[in-house]
Amino acid sequence: QKEVEQNSGPLSVPEGAIASLNCTYSDRVSQSFFWYRQYSGKSPELIMSIYSNGDKEDGRFTAQLNKASQYVSLLIRDSQPSDSATYLCAGKNRDDKIIFGKGTRLHILP
Amino acid sequence: DTGVSQNPRHKITKRGQNVTFRCDPISEHNRLYWYRQTLGQGPEFLTYFQNEAQLEKSRLLSDRFSAERPKGSFSTLEIQRTEQGDSAMYLCASSSIAEAFFGQGTRLTVV
């Protein structure tokens, strides 16, 4: 199993709907988890971090962590065309090494 | 600007030449990471530092790649005898306790 896995997409969501992005991780990645947004040709931008089981909300974004099932998700409410990007899931191991998934491409359809 | 700074932003080099990239992290961030990213892929881990100590170097990296972080401040990544397969975006990130923040990246093109 890869350390951090994501479906590469593309995921197409109508404008105004909820976009749901998922990520699973292995036992080697068990500490903190992050979601980054990356526009084409740009560097990743941190949008959410989550460290404990449950939900964490920040504006239109909600991150969810389930350590028992080893998955992390990101929900984007009221999706906007500007949300179209690649979303990278990342996790830290016990040595603070940050490992990324391949990213999920999200298309918001006007 | 107190963010992570990378230079140069773009580099075009001939195959076989050596290149060096620089990363200036956010002040007082003790961890610094280097990643390589190609089209359609996530950032691939290269190496990371805690202060001036290099903690790990990816086994995927050949001996042509070397990184330093003298005095625990800025870092350099050198690629010797570049190959066309080295063409990629090279990303640097820094962190303190938790989140890591990226610089703008250096896009390398080997011709």
Q: Mean pLDDT across the stretch A28-52?
A: 94
Does pLDDT of A1 surpass 90?
Answer: no
More confident residue, A83 or B98: A83
B33 reaches A (C-beta below 8 A) = yes
Q: What is the distance between the alpha carbons of residues A60 and A24, in angstroms, rounded to a whole number?
A: 22
Q: Which residues of B touch A46 (CB under 8 A)?
A: 99-102
Does pLDDT of A31 surpass 90?
Answer: no
Q: Looking at residue B18, what DSSP letter applies? A: -
Q: Which residues of B touch A102 (CB under 8 A)?
A: 40-42
B86-96: pLDDT as tens digits: 999 999 999 98
Does pLDDT of A93 surpass 80?
Answer: yes
Residue B20 near residue B82, CB atoms below 8 Å: no
Residue B26 near residue B41, CB atoms below 8 Å: no
Does pLDDT of B2 surpass 80?
Answer: no
What percentage of chain A has pLDDT greater than the value 70? 100
**pLDDT at res. B1:** 54
**pLDDT at res. A108:** 97
Confidence of residue B60 (pLDDT cuts 50, 70, 90): confident
Confidence of residue B59 (pLDDT cuts 50, 70, 90): confident
B42·A102 Cβ contact <8 A: yes
Burial of B62 from C-beta contacts in 10 A (0-12 / 13-18 / 19+): exposed
B99·A99 Cβ contact <8 A: no
A103·B41 Cβ contact <8 A: yes
Which residues are registered as beta bridge partners of B88?
Answer: B108
Mean pLDDT of chain A: 95
Closest among B89, B99, B87, B108 to B34, alpha carbons compared? B89
Q: Mean pLDDT across the stretch B2-11?
A: 95
Å between B31 CA and nearest CA of chain A: 9
Q: Mean pLDDT across the stretch A26-36?
A: 90
Q: What is the distance between the alpha carbons of residues B58 and A98, in angstroms, rounded to a whole number?
A: 12
**pLDDT at res. B97:** 83
Å between A63 CA and nearest CA of chain B: 15
B7-33: pLDDT as tens digits: 999 999 999 999 999 999 999 899 999
What percentage of chain B has pLDDT greater than the value 70? 99
Q: Looking at residue A67, what DSSP letter applies? A: T
Tokens of B85: 């397969």
Residue B93 near residue B100, CB atoms below 8 Å: yes
Buried b / exposed e along B22-46 (16+ C-beta atoms within 10 A) = ebbbbeebbbbbbbbbeeeebbbbb
Q: How many CB pairs below 8 A link A and B?
A: 55
Does pLDDT of B47 surpass 90?
Answer: yes
Å between A102 CA and nearest CA of chain B: 4
A44·B91 Cβ contact <8 A: yes
**pLDDT at res. B62:** 83
